[in-house]
Chain A
Amino acid sequence: MKIEISKMLQKKKKQIIDLWMKNQLADAGLREDLMSNDELRVQSEELVDALLKRLNEENLADIDSSDFDEIYEILGGISITRARQGFSPRETGVYIFSLKDALLEILQQEFKNDATQLYNATIKVGKLIDNFGIVTFETFIKGREEVILRQTDEITEISTPVIRVWDGILALPIIGTLDSARTQVVMENLLQEIVNTGSSIAILDISGVPAVDSLVAQHLIKTVSATRLMGAECIISGIRPEIAQTVVHLGIDLSNIVTKATLASALKYAFSILQLEVRKKQSNSVKI
């Protein structure tokens, strides 16, 4: 008589979970530091429970069946949490594939006298779990990508400080590529600081910008214009010789903008606009 694989597995739920847990706990790579064994058991039970509840003879052979949506949901959740907790992709992969070992062991016990059925069942269950594995990897990578994107945002935030170098003078060292998103942050921070401090001069230092192409130049020009609209003057400093030559060949016209080679010369220029003078202190011994 032909036994239904799904029904059989459902009856063996407890055994499957126990076997799976045994496999996991026996693994040398078990990360008890990242997740307690109790948590692991709860997570594993939830997955087996959901899988066996959905499984029937038809969808067993159809990995794309919408019956599995909930399972993919659970897998996605597991995968993302694991990525955030610091599990390696291999560890998460081993987690899923050790379920396959447990299921196959059960199949072997049940169908030990029927090679054809054992073969069929093994292929089907194997395919299904393999697909679970793939989904897990995909979500794992997505989880990691989200982490990277968040870090990128954070870096953008911290790498655009506005410094009050003097009363009325702001300096903004820009390090790295000035793309559209970055320009937006730079501009917002700068304009806000101009308001907050009542500064009349801003120095944009681009010593740390690797290349000035037409897009970066356009962003610089826009920032300067916006600063002027706020009633402040904007100086661009830190133009390295190779950047100057490139900008000229490219044909970008920066003649309407005050540019200086170094931050020091920009500061000097700013002082002169504010009619400030920095002098060396007269020595007392000169007195007669």
Chain B
Amino acid sequence: MDRRTMATMTTTPVTVLNKDSMLIVKEQDVVPFRNRVKEYATKIGMGLVNQTKLITAASELVRNMLRYGGGGNTLIEVVSKGRENGIRLTFSDKGPGIANIEMAMKDGFTTGKSLGLGLPGTKRLVSEFDIKSKPGEGTTVMIIKWKNG
């Protein structure tokens, strides 16, 4: 088994101000989830561009979770670090996991005959990105978008 499958990046210590979770099991859950994320982003006063980037990233990850992970759980948190406020989203599934994260993070890599832009694109859209996956156990992706990030 590949030992590099547990990729960990810097995770900033943050204060959680508010949290909410939502189970994703079917395609019809995507839009309500995205709307919930938008609600929280609006509440903290995130601008339109960052909001759109955040919900697009959320959309990518939630679709991956449905398509490859067989659905899973999402966590929406309002977090703060120093003077900066932001939204942290966590997506965890108990699907097959990703054998080679490095490959999955490359533009154009797909096992689903798609564009292969979801993961690398998401990373470019958000302020912080962290992915953990273990074959046979599942995948957890965490992102943060700072209000002014």
Q: Which residues of A contact B (CB under 8 A)?
A: 177, 179-180, 210-215, 217-218, 241-243, 245-246, 249-252
**B residues near A252, Cβ cutoff 8 Å:** 115, 117, 121
11 pairs of residues in contact across A and B, judged by CB atoms under 8 Å: A177-B31, A210-B55, A212-B56, A213-B59, A213-B118, A242-B48, A243-B52, A246-B49, A246-B56, A249-B53, A251-B107
Contact flags B108-149 to A (C-beta < 8 A → 1, else 0):
000000110110111011000000000000000000000000
Chain A residues contacting B53 (CB-CB under 8 Å) are 242, 245-246, 249
Kindly state whether residue B27 has any CB partner on chain A within 8 Å.
yes
Is B34 part of the binding interface, using a Cβ–Cβ cutoff of 8 Å? yes
What separation, in Å, do the CA atoms of A242 and B60 have in the docked complex?
17
B94 at the interface (CB under 8 A from A): no
Chain B residues closer than 8 Å to A249, beta-carbon distance: 53, 121, 124-125
Cβ contact within 8 Å between A246 and B60: no
Cα–Cα, bound, A217→B125 (Å):
16
Residues of chain B touching chain A, judged by Cβ–Cβ distance below 8 Å, are 27, 30-31, 34, 48-49, 51-53, 55-56, 59-60, 63, 107, 114-115, 117-118, 120-122, 124-125
**A217–B59 CA distance with the chains assembled, in angstroms:** 12
10 smallest beta-carbon distances between A and B, as pairs: A250-B121, A242-B52, A213-B59, A242-B49, A249-B124, A214-B117, A211-B56, A246-B56, A214-B115, A251-B117
* Other-chain contact of A245, B30, B49, B115 (Cβ < 8 Å): B49
Q: Complex Cα distance A243/B48, Å? A: 10
Cβ–Cβ contact B124 & A250, under 8 A: yes
The residues of B that contact A210 with a CB separation of less than 8 Å are: 34, 55
Contacts A211-B59, A214-B60, A251-B117 known; 12 new A-B pairs at CB < 8 A: A177-B30, A210-B34, A211-B52, A212-B56, A215-B114, A217-B115, A242-B48, A242-B49, A245-B52, A246-B52, A249-B125, A250-B125
Cβ 8 A contact of A214, one of B30, B34, B121: B121
Q: Which residue of B lies closest to A241 (CB)?
A: B49
Q: Cα distance A162–B49 when bound, in Å?
A: 30
| Given known A211-B55, A212-B56, A242-B52, contact A250–B27 (CB-CB < 8 A) | no
Q: Determine the chain A residues whose CB is within 8 A of the CB of B51 once the complex forms.
A: 242
Tell me the nearest residue of chain A to B52, going by C-beta: A242
**With the chains together, A212 CA to B120 CA distance in Å?**
16
- CB neighbours (8 Å) of B31 from chain A are 177
In whole angstroms, how far apart are the Cα atoms of A66 and B127 in the complex? 58
